[in-house]
Structure 1
Amino acid sequence: MKKFYKSVAVSQNEAGQYQILLDNRPLKTPLKKDLHLSSQEIANLIAKEWDQDVEEIDVQSMRFMSLVATYIDKITGNEEFVKDQVLAFIDSDSILFFSDEEKLRVKQETSWAPILKAFKDETGLSYEIVTDLSIPSQDKEIHAFWKSYLSDNSGEVLNAFQYGTSLIHSPLLIWAYRHNHISLEELYEFALLEELHQVELWGEDHEAKKRRQGIKQDLEALCAYIDLC
């Protein structure tokens, strides 16, 4: 998209919400809704994405803009549908599938097992893990926990879980980051554990590396968003 503005600023409206101004005109979402924010920090991050000294702007690379616009355009008013999208990953969470290959299994035990233990310690609930391609059916108490968890937290948190699970297929990893059990770097490494293991064995592929770099940037934005929610 050709850059159509010269100045970018953050202002606060009469209601105390923050908005981004492009040449003093309020920025809208893709569906032309008002982009009003309660967090000045998030507003500043979006403004930084738009404040590029280039002739052509890449809207697809604006991850904070995407997160916030998705919340306004698609999450608000559709919370139950979005919850169901996250809940669809409860039985098939990516860190429930352990390998029977010894070296990879050791990495999974070291990385994933502590998250499952932390979840059990905090909730009293145990996940069933598998070592084949079958999808386990988790206890109804686990499903009930997640329904309550997603309902009790803010819409922004629901947005973060929807974005994260669609990216890495693991509500548990997003939960672990949000509750300070893992770092951003661990979130990335644990989400791509098997793929990174294959890189160690067989070497790097340029296109796969480029894709992983994109995932890491997505996770960096997601974690910053979670920290500010």
Structure 2
Amino acid sequence: MIKKVQRFLKKVSFAPSGYGFSVYLDGKPIKTPKGLMVTVPNAFLARAITLEWQKQEGIIKPATMPITQLTCTTLDRVIPNRTSVIEQMVEYAHTDLLCYRAETPVDLNARQNDIWQPILNWAAKTLNTPLKVGYGIRYVAQSDEAIFKLRNVLERYDNWELTSITQMAPIFGSLLLALAVSENQIKWDQAYSASILEEMFQVEMWGEDHDAMQRRNAIKLEVNDSINFLLLARSEKP
């Protein structure tokens, strides 16, 4: 994470560097917390980072620079640990939200089937990764073959795309929802709504809690940041 520091900078710019573009503050390259130059694969990402820094006044606030933060995550965590990051994502398949349905109430179960099952069907057909479904809190053991195929799916993503998935899957509680968004099968806000289906069912029954609503709105912004990062990373892809 970029530390909070006083900003006495006059110029933020980006320029071609190596295999991409680097961002500079008063002619000096921005560096990640681990000391790596902030170099991104295309000018769209570099411009977005530049704009985030240009908007800083006084104390630099990392929370207002999501693209910069996700770039640092890619460079410091995902790229040097790609294999272990993929394994961490694969683990979500063992407890994927979409594979655990409520037994009661019947209305909730029906809603889960209507909204979640199409994503499971898509994954089985398009990604060739059929996952089993269970009911209640009983653990559902997925087949080694399905896990192997999901790992292969994740291997197809580049490091920048993978970063976006690592942000979405924990928020959704579902690797399949993150993949469905990444593959343009559903929109990100639909995926988020699917991930909080049970919570919203409870809201309908018992009413809204202000703090919970604020928490959901904040989390929704995090998902939006991940999607913006994904779109920027893909900007020059065929």
TM value normalised by structure 1:
0.91
Corresponding position: 1:184 with 2:184: no
Shift of the 161–16 alpha-carbon distance from structure 1 to 2, 3 Å rule, reads: closer
Which deviates the most, 123-132 or 85-94? 123-132
Matches within 5 A, 1:74-89: 74-89=77-92
CA deviations over 1:42-99 (Å, ceiling 9, x no partner): 2222222222253333213422122110110111221121112111111101111111
For 1:51, the equivalent position in structure 2 comes to 54
Shift of the 7–130 alpha-carbon distance from structure 1 to 2, 3 Å rule, reads: farther
Corresponding position: 1:135 with 2:112: no
For 1:214, the equivalent position in structure 2 comes to 218
For 2:198, the equivalent position in structure 1 comes to 194
Corresponding position: 1:62 with 2:65: yes
For 1:27, the equivalent position in structure 2 comes to 30
Matches within 5 A, 1:65-214: 65-100=68-103, 101-214=105-218
CA deviations over 1:141-173 (Å, ceiling 9, x no partner): 111111212223212222222222232221100
Shift of the 48–210 alpha-carbon distance from structure 1 to 2, 3 Å rule, reads: farther
Which deviates the most, 153-162 or 50-59? 50-59
Q: How far off is 1:138 after superposition?
A: 0.8
Contact persistence 1:6–1:22 (CA under 8 A): yes
Q: How far off is 1:226 after superposition?
A: 2.3
SS at structure 2 position matched to 1:88: helix
Q: How far off is 1:211 after superposition?
A: 1.5
Shift of the 8–211 alpha-carbon distance from structure 1 to 2, 3 Å rule, reads: farther
The number of equivalent residue pairs is 229
Shift of the 164–130 alpha-carbon distance from structure 1 to 2, 3 Å rule, reads: same
Measured in 1, the distance between the counterparts of 2:109 and 2:11 equals 50
Measured in 2, the distance between the counterparts of 1:192 and 1:157 equals 24
Measured in 1, the distance between the counterparts of 2:169 and 2:126 equals 21
- Unaligned residue ranges in structure 2 (runs of 5+): none
Contact persistence 2:7–2:56 (CA under 8 A): no
CA deviations over 1:116-152 (Å, ceiling 9, x no partner): 1111221344211111112211111111111212223
Measured in 1, the distance between the counterparts of 2:206 and 2:43 equals 45
- Unaligned residue ranges in structure 1 (runs of 5+): none
SS at structure 2 position matched to 1:21: strand
Which deviates the most, 33-42 or 161-170? 161-170
Which deviates the most, 199-208 or 4-13? 4-13
Contact persistence 2:134–2:140 (CA under 8 A): yes
Shift of the 41–13 alpha-carbon distance from structure 1 to 2, 3 Å rule, reads: closer
Q: How far off is 1:8 after superposition?
A: 4.9
Measured in 1, the distance between the counterparts of 2:225 and 2:11 equals 20
Shift of the 166–5 alpha-carbon distance from structure 1 to 2, 3 Å rule, reads: farther
Measured in 1, the distance between the counterparts of 2:166 and 2:47 equals 23
RMSD (Å), alpha carbons? 1.9
Measured in 1, the distance between the counterparts of 2:10 and 2:177 equals 39
CA deviations over 1:182-203 (Å, ceiling 9, x no partner): 1122021112111122222222
